[in-house]
Amino acid sequence: MTALEDVNLQVPRNATFALLGPNGAGKTTLIHILCTILAADEGTALIAGADVRKKPLQARRNIGVVFQEPSLDDRLTAFENLDFHGRVYNVKAAERKAGIDELLALVELEPWRHAVVRSFSGGMKRRLEIARALLHKPKILFLDEPTVGLDAQSRAGIWSYLDTLRRQRDLTIVVTTHYIEEVENCDKVSIIDHGKIIADGSPAELKHRFGKETARVLPRDPDVAAALTERYGSLQTAKDGSIIVDAGAPGFADAFLAEFGTRIRQVSFDTPSLESVFLTLTGRELRDKGADESEKRNAKRGRRS
């Protein structure tokens, strides 16, 4: 089974780069290869100039990683988790202490320095994982779904910390995410599906090239939904029953309302967005959890390319 095929991408220094794709598209497999967890069957990947296959130890020195699954030792305190990580990377005692002080303050966890991690909220654990990943001063920070499962306030906080870190540390950030709205402020976005990069560019460039004006329509009953789909097709059907259709044709709004105005509960019109780009290129919304779990299993079994 081929997990990735002809993936070719470059991430600029000091940029925030997002890898966006449906569940099971190959995001986690690609991150694992770049982080030297998996070895590709062929091809070349360079991390800060180091070949991940030929010089994996050098590549690892240049990266920090925050995995999707929690990886903290929740029996230890925040300080002990960071201190242990620093010792593993042979960070000198004075540098380790100064780094721990700086990072705990930056992610606003200094008051919980000596608190056991199992008492932390999900957002606090994520912030500590980010601090730990940066303690050995890597050049590149990889984050695999860093905000999954967090509330909106915690998600916004994580991105605020990441932006501050990037500016202060000349840091390159590579992130995968399911939340399309989170990549709006990224410098570059690559969309991956079925193991292939199908588009990349800045959010503005992607919207210009692939974005569509869309209408989100909530029909009154299934018969109206069927008529809508037959008439316009469907870019996506949401969980609440609303249907997203292409609204880019000249005069769409007037024609649509004349035909369906009394048969729908509500309609909203959206200008080109990253969501419409994603739907245009992948033809569907994010796949279900089962596909995501399948990719993880494949990665663990070493099915890669």
Confidence (pLDDT) at 177: 82
DSSP notation for 134-172 = HTT--SEEEEESTTTT--HHHHHHHHHHHHHHHHHHT-E
Kindly give the parts of the chain with pLDDT less than 50. 286-305
pTM of the predicted protein model: 0.77
Helical (H) or strand (E) element with 179: none
Give the Cα separation of 215 and 243 in Å (integer).
Answer: 8
For residue 50, what are its two tokens?
């180091």
pLDDT of residue 294: 43
> Domain spanning 212-271 has what CATH number?
3.30.70
E-state strands within 2-100: 16-20, 46-47, 50-51, 63-66
Cβ neighbours, 10 Å, residue 244: 22
Integer-rounded Cα Rg, in Å, for the chain is 22
What pLDDT sits at residue 299? 46
What residue spans in the chain does CATH classification 3.40.50.300 cover? 16-206+286-301
Which tokens go with 206? 């992607």
Where in the sequence of the chain do the CATH 3.30.70 domains occur?
212-271
The CATH superfamily holding the domain 16-206+286-301 is P-loop containing nucleotide triphosphate hydrolases (3.40.50.300)
Estimate the crossing angle of helix 122-134 against helix 152-169, to 10 degrees. Answer: 10
